[in-house]
Structure 1
Amino acid sequence: MSTTTRTVSATPEQVWEVLADGWLYPLFVVGASRMRDVDESWPAVGARLHHSVGTWPLLIDDTTEVLEVEEGRRLLLKARGWPAGEAHVEISLRPDGASTLVTMKEDATAGPGVLVPKPLRDPQLHWRNTEALKRLAFVVEGRTR
């Protein structure tokens, strides 16, 4: 599983507030181009984000589902982006003084992505998630000013 970490200059509660608003995901998830719907129960287990990935006009509609949640601390998601496949994405928050250490772990779980050897897959996921956490930090820190 590829692991990426970033310190965000905000409290875990402030970071969680952004994660708990499913409509904000296209602002920080690399590849997500638009949100079509968010289940009312988001981010409860079983709740889904209905998103599109890609660039217009080549958009693919799919979903991301909450598999596990620890309110204010951790989300385990099943992200779908067929035909590329599925991945498990874990986002965890840990207080770090006045800041929050945000860790994102991701790996392919189904589809063609699992055929890519792990030594080739991990650096690509790390690069993508480094950008995602940078974007998340911009959103969170921009809201807390």
Structure 2
Amino acid sequence: MSENERVVRASSADVFAVLGDGWSYAGWVVGAARVRSVDQGFPAPGTSLHHSVGVWPFMVNDVTTVEEFEPDHRLVIKVRVWPAGAGRVEFVTTTRPDGCLLVMREESMEGPVHILPHAAVDPVLHWRNTETLRRLAYLAESRAGLHRTQSTSTR
């Protein structure tokens, strides 16, 4: 199992606002190219978001399904990317004075990737998930108003 953590300078509610917006998935998940549809009621357990992974013309359409959801605290999803396999991803936040600690755990469950040794898979997942958490944190911090673009005009 790969585990990553990041301090986010935003509240757990801001983090879960991003996690709960299925349409934002391709904006923060490394490898996701687009979201095709999101079930009504997402992220309630049993709901799914339908996404594509890869780069055109080599895209795979697949689905991510919510297994468990505790608002503003915990989300567990089953991610599929066939033919590579499927995995389980858990996001948990803990409130801190400067925002929250976000922990992401991912493990393979099915398919060819599942039979590979953890020592081979975990470093790749850890590297990818470091960037995923960076993108997710940026979106949550933007919601909290911490990232403002400034434009300067010169004449």
Q: Matches of 2:99 and 2:72 in 1, distance apart?
A: 14
Q: Matches of 1:121 and 1:60 in 2, distance apart?
A: 20
Alpha-carbon distance, 1:71 to partner: 1.3
Letter in 2 for 1:95: T
When the two structures are superposed, what TM-score results if normalisation uses the length of structure 1? 0.97
Runs of 4+ deviating beyond 2 Å: none
Equivalent residues in 2 for 1:1-145, closer than 5 Å: 1-145=1-145
When the two structures are superposed, what TM-score results if normalisation uses the length of structure 2? 0.91
Alpha-carbon distance, 1:143 to partner: 2.2
Q: Matches of 1:107 and 1:2 in 2, distance apart?
A: 6
Which ranges in structure 1 are unaligned for 5 or more consecutive residues? none
Q: What is the aligned-residue identity percentage?
A: 46
1:82-112: CA deviation from partner (whole Å, max 9, x where unpaired) = 0010000001111011311110000110001
Compare CA radii of gyration and give the structure with the larger one: 2
Give the length in aligned residue pairs.
Answer: 145
Letter in 2 for 1:107: E
Q: Matches of 1:57 and 1:7 in 2, distance apart?
A: 36
Which ranges in structure 2 are unaligned for 5 or more consecutive residues? 146-155
RMSD, matched Cα: 0.7
